[in-house]
Amino acid sequence: MDVQLGRIRFIRGDNGGKYPFNHSLYLEGDNARVIIDPSCSLQKLADLKQKDGVDQVWLSHWHEDHIRYLNLFADCPLRISEKDFPPLTDIDVFLDWYGIKEADIRAFWKQEMLDNFNYSPKQNACFIQDEETIDLGSLSVQVIPTPGHTPGHLSFFFPEEKILFLGDYDLTSFGPWYGDVYSSIEQTIKSIHKLKAIHARKWIASHSTGLFDENPSKLWDDYENVIYLREERILEYLNKPRTLEKILSAWLIYGKPREPMEFFEFNERVLLVKHIEYLERRGKIMLYNNQYVKI
């Protein structure tokens, strides 16, 4: 169910807000009406445009499940962090930022982006600045840079309503995503700590539960601990030297093979490689004779 919170409307996404959908926010300022992350529902967004009107579109970040129905608002100014704009300018840049190199997989995802996510390259955008406060008229928005998930991921705090929009720091049991080329485990941890420290009355995440009426403090701990549990599993599996391919075959991130394999094998690899690199930087493992060993 959608929920009106003062001048902010929580619009629940199809499929419970799970990928490939999300939950959207609609901001009703005196000076501008804004939709944030237009990927909740084609019908809901079409009705919103017709009945309430939309003046601007804001994106928390560049991922496909946040831009699915962006084409509905092609006549509206687009606002996003400059750090996250490049993937929206060219579909090949988009795929490069995911680290998709194999020709057949690139071809699959290129078609997927066109057919199911309505990808259309953008020539320009109005960039949202880190830490700026935006006055929409009787509704102000404090921009909170929360990199890690993506370089330019943004969260938003609404001081009048004391509502914190978390974006894709979504407090799900799966834990945080940091598998893109320019994602960062270190920055993800810092952003989690930053968001957890903000005093709010309600919290809104892009996926699953979506709206939290009570402080999700324990969920923050559980969410962050997924990072450390993944690391522990990798270190435990390296009780003897193993190649990267052998580590990947253990499914230490997802726990077991999942379908479709083309999707989950890729995700397993990129998240695992991020952890391998993170462990190497901290001197916990090293590559020796093409095998990873604990130090």
Q: What is the pLDDT of residue 194?
A: 98
- Phi and psi angles of residue 187, each rounded to the nearest 5 degrees, phi first: -70, -35
Q: What is the pLDDT of residue 276?
A: 98
DSSP strand pairing (33-36 vs 202-205): unpaired
Q: What is the pLDDT of residue 263?
A: 87
Distance CA 132, CA 4 (A): 25
Q: Domains in the chain, start-ordered, CATH in brackets? A: 3-216 (3.60.15.10), 238-294 (1.10.10)
The predicted-structure confidence for 13-58, as pLDDT tens digits, reads as follows 999 999 999 999 999 999 999 999 999 999 999 999 999 999 999 9
Q: With a cut of 90, say whether residue 260 has pLDDT above it.
A: no
Q: With a cut of 90, say whether residue 262 has pLDDT above it.
A: no
The residue-averaged pLDDT of 110-136 equals 97
Distance CA 148, CA 178 (A): 6
The residue-averaged pLDDT of 161-177 equals 98
Q: What is the pLDDT of residue 261?
A: 85
Q: Which residue has the higher pLDDT, 276 or 260?
A: 276
Q: ω into residue 20 within 30 of 0, thus cis?
A: yes
The predicted-structure confidence for 46-81, as pLDDT tens digits, reads as follows 999 999 999 999 999 999 999 999 999 999 999 999
Question: Quick one: what percent of the chain has pLDDT higher than 70?
Answer: 100
